[in-house]
Amino acid sequence: MKKRFTDEKIIGFLKEAEAGTSVKELCRKHGFSDAAFYGWRSRFGGMEVADAAQLRNLEPENGRLKKLLAEAHLDIEALKSVVRGKR
């Protein structure tokens, strides 16, 4: 699914809200929902643009590491079931 707003734009929206623009006005002006704004705030709150770029670069590596960990846990469970069966 294509993202409508880039991470940089989202951080810009959050900065506008911090500067004093009301959330309702901000959402109406840029065409997104309140729920989207609050979701973005929970994900990107307090970040700078450079932090978001770094996060974007780390996400694929994080996914790869999670997959490796899951495979390792499956291997451990398989070995445990073999050992239990031999007793």
Domain ranges of the chain: 1-47, 56-87
DSSP 40-63: HHHHHTT--HHHHHHHHHHHHHHH
Please, which residues have CB within 8 angstroms of residue 17's CB and are 6 or more apart in sequence? 23, 26, 37, 41
Tens digits of per-residue pLDDT, 3-28?
Answer: 788 888 999 999 999 999 999 999 99
Tens digits of per-residue pLDDT, 43-68?
Answer: 888 888 888 888 888 999 999 999 99
Please say whether the dihedral angle defined by the alpha carbons of residues 41, 47, 50 and 53, taken in this order, is positive or negative. Answer: negative
